[in-house]
A = this chain, B = another copy of it.
Amino acid sequence: MRQTELFTKTRREAPKDEEAKNAKLLIRAGFINKEMAGIYDYLPLGLRVLDKIENIIRAEMNALGGQEISMSALQRRELWERGQNRWADDKLPWFKTKLKSGNELGLATTHEEPITNMLEQFISSYQNLPFSVYQFQTKFRNEERAKSGILRTREFLMKDMYSFSRTQDEHDRFYEQAKIAYRNIFNRVGIGDVTYLTLASGGSFSRYSHEFQTLTAAGEDTIYIKDEKKKEAVNKEVETPVGVPEKKAIEVGNIFSLGTKFSDPYLSFNDQAGKQQLVIMGCYGIGLGRLMGTVVEVLSDDKGVIWPREISPFDIHLLVLTEEAKNFTDEIYKTLTSQNITVLYDDRDLRAGEKFADADLIGIPARVVVGDKALKSKKLEIKDRATGGLKEMTIESLIKKLRK
């Protein structure tokens, strides 16, 4: 995409009403727009990152055998007044609204109750099980305060998966597979080396749950690292081991064994002996905006963001420095895009220094700068955003490298 056509602009100054590094950088770079505290829009660059994160998660959920669905955000009060009875405002951070008839509805904070209700029609026999379903769906949470940028928002896209098993063993096997899928996701988005599988409280649903916690000073949680090699930790809420340093971390994913808390008495099946059994459930969440914000907290410097290649909004940031080099750079742009390499092309009439500063802020991992030198040599200089390292290569070698 040509930067002269991109409607967003970068800003030199961070917005005064933001404390969080992720929001400051993402707003300055034109990735997001703040509607109000805790509520953000995704602009073209930001949405490209969010979509890439979504596709990575989708691939891993599909590999687990998950079936994708999309449930409504508007939820019936009756479903939340039964079972675990979570309709009250002190049980969940509800936003509520009303039909014209006056009947109250809730805005989705989570989906255990509607999903068990929906599945009653499809589960009757052991032959209908096991399976798992997932969705990318907008959740609404009426947070008291919202000051962590996109780490904790009042409206956010969440991947929530729910598993349905016949026995505890069957559930446990799926749960272990889900851990591996989550590990793959955090590796692929570039924060695997600072993300720990963390034993945490199970809240009111089970004794323990597992969180994936990413080390960052912006984190609201405190964890203790139990095994650096295996990337395992424990949340302070569970245990305070002696002689292990405390670390601040943010929860980027969680997985819960729900047992029969939500299936009882609604979701049951006849086993092979014809006996009625309750379905064993699990739930598995990742907030996509939070994950994107965590990447920014972890992978950035004072100049801007440093996107990992797999979730960068574009593969290449192409900068042209002189009027004379424009035709040559136009050709490079055409060649790269014709090879399905995505390019943000800074074709604006600006000084080189301004273009470099914007490129650092936006954070695309590979930068190609074309000035009079490249025009003469026909060699491209590739700069690595993370290391600052420079490499000269022909356009053919660049294409080969990116194709790997």
In the bound complex, CA of A280 to CA of B131 (Å): 51
Interface residue? A222 (CB, 8 A): no
Interface residue? A144 (CB, 8 A): yes
Q: Are B118 and A41 closer than 8 Å at their CB atoms?
A: yes
Interface residue? A394 (CB, 8 A): no
A342-377 interface (Cβ within 8 A of B): none
Residues of B within 8 A of A242 (CB): none
20 new A-B contacts at CB < 8 Å, known A40-B72, A41-B118: A5-B65, A7-B122, A7-B128, A7-B131, A9-B121, A33-B121, A35-B71, A35-B75, A41-B72, A42-B70, A43-B69, A44-B67, A44-B69, A47-B69, A47-B70, A73-B73, A73-B140, A74-B95, A74-B140, A96-B97
A195-229 interface (Cβ within 8 A of B): none
**Minimum Cβ distance to chain B for residue A94 (Å):** 9
Interface residue? A76 (CB, 8 A): yes
**Can you report 25 A-B residue pairs in the complex whose CB atoms are below 8 A from each other?**
A5-B65, A5-B131, A7-B67, A7-B122, A7-B123, A7-B131, A8-B122, A9-B121, A33-B121, A35-B74, A39-B74, A40-B72, A41-B71, A41-B118, A43-B69, A44-B68, A44-B133, A73-B138, A74-B154, A95-B105, A96-B97, A96-B98, A97-B107, A99-B154, A138-B138
Chain A residues at the B interface, C-beta cutoff of 8 Å: 5-9, 33, 35-36, 39-44, 47, 50, 65, 67-76, 95-100, 105, 107, 114, 118-119, 121-123, 128, 131, 133, 138, 140, 142-144, 154-155
**Main SS at interface, chain A:** mixed
In the bound complex, CA of A9 to CA of B36 (Å): 43
Residues of B within 8 A of A35 (CB): 71-72, 74-76, 114, 118
In the bound complex, CA of A98 to CA of B154 (Å): 12
**Minimum Cβ distance to chain B for residue A337 (Å):** 13
Task: List the B residue with the shortest CB-CB distance to A157.
Answer: B70
In the bound complex, CA of A100 to CA of B122 (Å): 38
Residues of B within 8 A of A119 (CB): 7
Interface centre among A73, A74, A119 (most CB of B within 10 A): A74
Q: Are A70 and B50 closer than 8 Å at their CB atoms?
A: yes
Residues of B within 8 A of A155 (CB): 72-74
**Minimum Cβ distance to chain B for residue A71 (Å):** 4
Residues of B within 8 A of A154 (CB): 74, 99
Given A41-B70, A43-B69, A70-B50, answer yes or no on A76-B5 (Cβ-Cβ < 8 Å).
no
In the bound complex, CA of A144 to CA of B71 (Å): 22
